Amino acid sequence: MLIIIKIAKWLLKLIIWFFGISILSVILFKWVPVPLTPLMIIRCVEQKCDNKEMTLKHDWVSLDEISPKLQLAVVCSEDQNYLKHFGFDWGAIEKAIKNNEQGKKVRGGSTISQQTAKNVFLWPGRSYIRKAFEAYFTLLIEICWSKERIMEVYLNSIEMGNGVYGAEAASKFWFKKSANKLNKDESAAIAAILPNPLKYVANPPSNYVSKRKTWIKQQMSYWGNQLDYDKYNDEDENAVLEKNQNKKTKNKK
């Protein structure tokens, strides 16, 4: 009985420490650049084990130093409901589940928020435990960070080539220029390789990447070639005001 009590106390302390550290980490990274991610460390270890040269290109830049075209390109490519959802796109998740059940090519329904949570705080994998942690951290960053901050961390942390992480490093690696200089075509090319950055090449692109790049550019045009972070916030505020106005009108009647 004493052993069970000790184990229970130890587990309780572990849980408290986990919540405390995780919440503090999310709050810290609301303002502080993320210097290193678990995936970066794992890739370096893999390179070392394969007797390859260890490569880690990563240069943190602020969101205003990343081309708005690249910001739009990744939304069009990875998560077109990014500005609308609160971390999870249930429609995309449902489609992914149905697609996978039908035996088609395995696809995910992860949002940019989920990918950010995974890249910054967790390890790669598809286990239910990892997915549960991913959901937890996704909610945390959606609560604590703005959409702009999530995008900033996302575009500074994701893998964009072999040993290449973040928009600035990727821009220099693929196109020999800074991230703020990327044009529409280059932005779409980088976004096109995100599903498998170790396999696909942004420049020169394969036939598959070229087709994805063309589709992404079409989507960018549908969006008016700009990403308005305030648009949906304004719509939400207007919806609330309209709802309150309707209540007042009914009460008067």
Domain presence at residue 155:
yes
pTM (predicted TM-score) = 0.86
pLDDT at 100: 63
Inside any domain, residue 162: yes
Q: At a CB cut-off of 8 Å and minimum separation 6, what does 147 contact?
A: 82, 83, 229
Q: How confident is the model at residue 17 (pLDDT cuts 50, 70, 90)?
A: very high
Helix (H) or strand (E) segment spanning residue 58:
strand 57-58
Task: Kindly tell me if the per-residue pLDDT of 83 is higher than 90.
Answer: yes
How do 164-165 and 159-161 pair as beta strands? antiparallel
What pLDDT sits at residue 242?
Answer: 55
What 3-state DSSP class applies to 51? coil
Residue 201 maps to a domain:
yes
112-122 pLDDT, tens digit each: 999 999 999 99
Per the structure, the count of domains in the chain is: 1
Domain presence at residue 116:
yes
Q: What is the mean pLDDT of residues 194-207?
A: 95
Reported in sequence order, the residue ranges of 87-204 that DSSP labels E, i.e. its strands, are 159-161, 164-165
CATH of the domain at 96: 1.10.3810.10
The yes-or-no verdict on residue 247 having pLDDT over 80 is no
Residue with tokens 């130890």: 10
Model pLDDT, residue 240: 41
CB-based contact 174:190 (threshold 8 Å): yes
> Which residues constitute the domain of residue 153?
68-252
